[in-house]
Amino acid sequence: MAEFIKIYEENPNEKDIRKVVSIIKKGGLVIYPSDTVYALGCDITNNKALERVAKLKNVKLEKANFSFVCENLSNLSDYVKQIDTATFKILKRALPGPYTFILPGNNNLPSVFKKKKEVGIRVPDNSIVQAIVAELGNPIVSTSIKDEDEVIEYTTDPELIYEKWEKFVDVIIDGGYGGNIPSTVIDLTGDEPVLIREGKGPLDI
């Protein structure tokens, strides 16, 4: 059974953040709030946890399009090839914020993602997940959780999320009601930015 922990975005409790991170470090899966929808995540360095996430999403791990959630842009060089000034300016203007940017991956990608040439980077504007990533010391791999409801694509109520996911993950954070519009996805691997999915992030960045 997953632990259900209430954390306030205005002032995340350090003890609770440490508890969540301790679970993640042991290979646990976390459902957490972001600046868009609630998402499922785990430690980027833990292959067993990554396999569990892929299984829950019903995808092969090496083919999964998971995002890397970073605390800020300083994590970029860990997994992304050197980017030009124009690309960096877009990232600096937009992040932290409700965007996923597709960037060229480098040779430091975790072994399970070695065949990937690109990686999706997120820096959510949410103090809970920023505190988690800062305490963990490296990015978390993340994917949004969907709802079976055909009208509402994403579950926004943490208690309903808990009812549905308590047997499949290790900790669920109640960070208040979430949004139901996902991040805007923009591909920055070519000469010009390409919109992959219009979401919460405005396009005029």
* More reliable by pLDDT, 56 or 154: 56
Q: What value does the mean pLDDT take over residues 153-177?
A: 94
Using pLDDT thresholds of 50, 70 and 90, give the confidence band for residue 205: confident
Q: What is the CATH number of the domain that holds 101?
A: 3.90.870.10
Q: Are 44 and 141 in contact (CB under 8 A)?
A: yes
Q: Does the pLDDT of residue 68 top 90, yes or no?
A: yes
For 11-47, how does the pLDDT look when each residue is reduced to its tens digit (9 = 90+)? 999 999 999 999 999 999 999 999 999 999 999 999 9
| Residue 205 within any structural domain of the chain | no
Task: Give domain status of residue 24, yes or no.
Answer: yes
- Give the per-residue pLDDT at 199: 96
The answer to whether residue 203 sits within a structural domain is no
Q: How confident is the model at residue 9 (pLDDT cuts 50, 70, 90)?
A: very high
Mean of per-residue pLDDT scores for the chain: 93
In this structure, is residue 181 part of a structural domain? yes
pLDDT in tens, 130-164: 999 999 999 999 999 887 665 567 889 999 999 99
Is residue 140 a contact partner of residue 44, using CB atoms and an 8 Å limit? Answer: yes
Q: What is the mean pLDDT of residues 53-80?
A: 91
The predicted model scores a pTM of 0.94
Residue 204, domain member (yes or no) = no
At 178 the pLDDT is 93
Burial of 156 (0-12, 13-18, 19+ CB in 10 A): middle
For residues 102-130, give the mean pLDDT. 92
Domain count for the chain, please give it: 1
Percent of the chain with pLDDT over 90: 82
Q: Is residue 202 part of a domain?
A: no
Compare 161 and 116 and report the one with higher pLDDT: 161
Does 135 map to a domain?
yes
Query: Is residue 133 situated within a structural domain?
Result: yes
| Domain enclosing residue 149, as ranges | 3-197
Looking at beta carbons, which pairs linking 15-21 to residues 24 or more positions away fall under 8 Å?
17/128, 17/131, 17/132, 17/135, 18/135, 19/171, 20/132, 20/171, 20/173, 21/132, 21/135, 21/136
Give the tens place of pLDDT for each residue, 188-202: 999 999 999 999 999
